[in-house]
Chains A and B, each alone.
Chain A
Amino acid sequence: MEAPARPILVALGSEARSLRLLQAALRLARERSAPWIAVHVETSGTGLPEDREQVEVWLQEAQRLGAELRIVQAPTLAQGLSELTRSTRAQVLLLGRSRDRWPWARVGHSTADELQRRGLDAHLEVMDDRAGVTSSEEPPIRLGAMVGALSVLTAASGLAWLVPREGSLALVLPVFLAAVTFIAHRWGQRLAVLASVLSSLIYNFLLETPRFTRTAAHWPNLLFFLATLLATQAVVGLLQRLRNQAREVHRREVHTASLYLLGRALARGRTLEEVATTAAEHIQRVFKVRACLLFPQGEAWRAVPPPSLDPGLPTPGELLPLLDVGERQGDPLEPLTLGSTYCLSLMGTDRSEGVLQILPGATPGLPPETWELLKAFAVQIALALERLRWLEEARRAQVESETERMRSTLLGAIGHDLRTPLAAIHGAAGSLLLPGHVPETARRDLLTMIQDESERLAHLLGNLLDLTRLESGAIAVQKEWQPLEEVIGAALGRLERRQGSLPIRVDLPESFPLVPLDAALIEQVLVNLIANAQQHAPGQEMELRAWSEPGWIHLEVADQGPGIPAEFQERVFGKFFRLPGSGEGGVGLGLAICRAIVAAHGGRIQVRNRPGGGSSFSFALPLDGTPPPLPEVP
């Protein structure tokens, strides 16, 4: 068996470059399939609260990316790191180069040097700090710059030569100041310092009288000359840095503002289309480039807003792995150039939410700072998309838990309501089959019970089936213009065939309009309502009333039972809801079926208590469309 690979160590501080270190470590760990460990060394010197918070952020990020975390306490960074490198047998130690304040501290005193002195058994990789525009990196001195600086100095010297000898310092100094400042501005401060020294020498040898000599009397002037030039350079440098900083602050402000605006606009998005369109609009406004979002849909892309900017785009199967390479290289947001467009993976916290496609405008490339902001945009967009996905998932989970709850209620109801009649039937049949004579009355009782209970079972199953089919849309409402009395008659007929005459008073106005309805379904509603009324007020007279108003017809079934407490008046229409103490029979589906049917007709159903006692269920059906022409009645 192969020994596990030696781990890769990465030292994290509070600095921003830690992210780059993390990405580099992740890349290295994947390349070598080695585990990696993120280390923070707490030394006695460190300890600003906000620094510790920032370290915490990086450590968490490291953990998210799959690193093991270690926090070590040691007198110095180097000591802590070397001890940990030894104990973990790390193969590589990744370290950021610290920007020491004083140049001399860099020589031989850096953590890297100290680690080398301690004899490190790991490959040490030090990453340069390339963070930010604020760092005023000095460009290296080039030959062209030297020639340029020399010619500027020569010109300055020539000009100074023309100045009259007496009182020359006051007149010559400004000329050289101007020249050196120009050099600093044009070719950097290092060259300007050299130019200052050179200018002093020129002044001393060429311009100070007596010329071409070096006398002790010249020294004060020479020093004054040099000091003035250098001080000016320092001031110029400082101003330059301040100006850079101001520019940077302004740029960040603009970035922050545009990010803020984007974030706010994205948060308003309710659908994927809204979010994607908003994102494209903001990118267009801020960067002056066209953009669209791509979402994989099988083997094709769905572009929002359409169309995709590059019709010859590779399929999701081809493009997504390419973007994954970006992730493997440490930066999941590294754009991929495809023809004239760029693609950025919209990486959320756990997966890619899509692809951002950019078509740069007139300028082919975007400046690096712009890319940084664009990446920040991409992160925001990805997070907005992720939020939508999570919302959708939460909603689905809720529906599922609702379904689950329904299922358990259903199982509970079925468990009880199916088993009870089954047990009765089974028992009665068993008694009838017993050897020996069963008296005639007992035999009839048992058989009647078998019949009643099986009817109850059939009723329950029928209800369940109806509700399921209504809710799944398997039953389509087939509206036909009908005389209401026919539906009422069918409902009453069905009930009376089942159980004999009903104590119900029917109040149906003469010449009632034809009503568009599904006769079988509305008959079911009436049967359920009447059976319900009968169950809660047995033997008492019920009322069935119908009336019409423009656009609607109303039907009402009223009983003289105990009525329904206000808090249950909405819930009685729920599935498996039964009034407390409503006795045997029914599983609480009848009214749910009524509501489903009435709703499928575009109507509404409600219950209220009657002033004189009892409850009244009424439903309204729309009289939509024009009634068919009536046959001429002779």
Chain B
Amino acid sequence: MNQPLILIIEDEESLRRFLVPTLISQHYQVLCAATATEGLALARSHNPDLVLLDLGLPDRDGMTVLKELRTWSRKPVLILSARNQERDKVRALDQGADDYLAKPFGAGELLARIRVALRHTHLLDVPEPVLEGGALRIDLAGREVSREGRAIKLTALEYRLLEALARRNGKVATHRQLLADVWGPGGEGNTHYLRIYMAMLRKKLEADPTRPRHFITEPNVGYRLNLEAPRD
């Protein structure tokens, strides 16, 4: 059996005590490190499929761990961020982290993010041509979008934004990443453009734009396209 290997780099024991059994119960293999040095050593020796990285580590900044990991690994990294690390969180995402979880988080949220991140690894090789969820159907190959079976006309920019989100299906995309993807280099300052286009996308694709189900805002971070059925 080839179960994904998850490396947890987290200095708080209570959190590890929650993470390890939760992940094992979901049939993941788990490795634990309490310091950045130990974590990097384990990452090198075992090449895990996914890394859960706490930003506040005792010996080194979590950010340096991320940078060092990224020099040789493209495997997904999930950031575990505390409440007062909003800025670090966005920086980590821009630096190549795949997603983040704000403490405290529940087991359901954690597992969903891990699933998305692991799926994303495979997507890299063969991009999924058609995404479907709720009433939405996004055909990336045929450049077609439909809601409740009816085709929706999008402008070129709207489509590029949708595509940028869809390629990260379920993962958070930071403002900076989206602006770079849609408007190209130099467009990073125009966050309000992004918001306006996001509002237009929502008007066209959401049933109620003030209560978006698919285009989720992550305040001060970015957006996430969510095509999974809402949890109830």
Q: Chain A: residues with CB nearer than 8 A to chain B?
A: 451, 454, 458, 462, 465, 469, 474, 478, 480-483, 485-490, 492-493, 496-497, 500, 506, 508, 514, 518-520, 523, 628, 630-631, 633-634
Contact = CB atoms under 8 A, between A and B. Distances in A.
A543 to B, nearest CB: 13
B150 interface: no
Interface string B129-163: 00000000000000000000000000111000000
Contacts of A634: 155-156
Given A465-B83, A485-B210, A497-B231, A628 B192 contact: yes
Nearest to B217: A490
Report which residue of B190, B200, B210 has the largest number of chain A beta carbons within 10 angstroms of its beta carbon. B210
A454 B104 contact: yes
Nearest to B191: A480
Nearest to B197: A631
A469 B106 contact: no
Interface string B182-222: 00000000111101111110100000111110001101100
Contact of B211 (A482, A483, A492, A630): A492
B210 A500 contact: no
A631 B193 contact: yes
A519 B209 contact: no
A489 B104 CA distance: 22
B216 A483 contact: no
Given A465-B84, A489-B212, A634-B155, A482 B195 contact: yes
B217 A480 contact: no
Contacts of B61: none
A486 B217 contact: yes
A520 B211 contact: no
Contacts of B232: 500
A630 B199 CA distance: 13
A440 B104 CA distance: 27
B38 interface: no
A157 to B, nearest CB: 107
Q: Which 9 A-B pairs have the closest CB atoms?
A: A520-B219, A490-B217, A481-B192, A483-B199, A520-B220, A506-B210, A458-B104, A489-B212, A519-B219
27 contacts: A465-B83, A480-B192, A481-B192, A482-B195, A483-B196, A483-B199, A485-B202, A486-B198, A487-B217, A489-B212, A490-B217, A490-B219, A492-B210, A492-B211, A493-B216, A496-B211, A497-B230, A500-B232, A506-B208, A514-B192, A514-B195, A514-B196, A520-B219, A631-B190, A631-B197, A633-B155, A634-B155
Contacts of A454: 104
Contact of A489 (B157, B196, B211, B220): B211
Q: Which of A493, A500, A523 has the most CB of B within 10 A?
A: A493
Contacts of B106: 451
Size category, B interface: 20 to 34
A486 B211 contact: no
A368 B63 CA distance: 75
B86 interface: yes
B175 to A, nearest CB: 9
Contacts of B86: 520
A489 B219 contact: no
A433 to B, nearest CB: 14
Contacts of A481: 192, 195
A591 B142 CA distance: 50
A465 B220 CA distance: 18
Nearest to B200: A633
B210 A489 contact: yes
A508 B192 contact: no
Contacts of A493: 211-212, 216-217
Nearest to B183: A631
A487 B200 CA distance: 15
Between B196, B219, B220, B230, the greatest number of chain A beta carbons within 10 A of the residue's beta carbon is seen for B219
A452 B208 CA distance: 29
A549 B106 CA distance: 42
B66 to A, nearest CB: 23
Most buried by A among B106, B199, B200, B217: B217
A510 to B, nearest CB: 10
Nearest to A485: B210
Contacts of B195: 481-483, 486, 514
Q: Which one of B83, B84, B196 has the greatest number of beta carbons of chain A within 10 Å?
A: B196
A506 B220 contact: no
Contact of B209 (A474, A478, A482, A485): A485
A518 B219 CA distance: 9
Given A462-B83, A480-B191, A481-B192, A519 B220 contact: yes
Contacts of B230: 497
Contacts of B104: 454, 458
A486 B232 CA distance: 22
B84 A631 contact: no
A486 B216 CA distance: 9
B192 A482 contact: yes
Given A490-B219, A633-B200, 5 more contacts: A488-B210, A493-B217, A496-B211, A520-B86, A634-B155
A469 B84 contact: yes
A462 B104 CA distance: 10
Contacts of B193: 631
A401 to B, nearest CB: 29
Contacts of B210: 485, 488-489, 492, 506, 508
A613 B4 CA distance: 57
A519 B200 CA distance: 18
Interface string B22-51: 000000000000000000000000000000
B170 to A, nearest CB: 14
B112 to A, nearest CB: 11
B32 to A, nearest CB: 22
A488 B208 CA distance: 11
A174 B155 CA distance: 126
Contacts of A518: 220
A450 to B, nearest CB: 11
Contacts of B209: 485, 489
Contacts of B220: 478, 518-520
B17 to A, nearest CB: 13
Contacts of A496: 211
Contacts of A633: 155, 200
A130 to B, nearest CB: 72
Nearest to B107: A451
A608 to B, nearest CB: 24
Given A488-B210, A493-B212, A514-B192, A519 B199 contact: no
A454 B86 CA distance: 22
Contacts of B157: 631
Contacts of A488: 210
Which of A458, A485, A497, A500 is most buried by chain B, counting CB atoms within 10 A of its CB?
A485
A83 to B, nearest CB: 77
Contacts of B84: 465, 469, 474
Nearest to A457: B104
Contacts of B191: 480
A454 B83 CA distance: 16
A70 to B, nearest CB: 67
Contacts of A630: 196
A219 B231 CA distance: 139
Nearest to B203: A485
Contacts of A492: 210-211
* Chain A CB within 10 Å, residue with most, of B193, B195, B197: B195
A480 B190 CA distance: 10
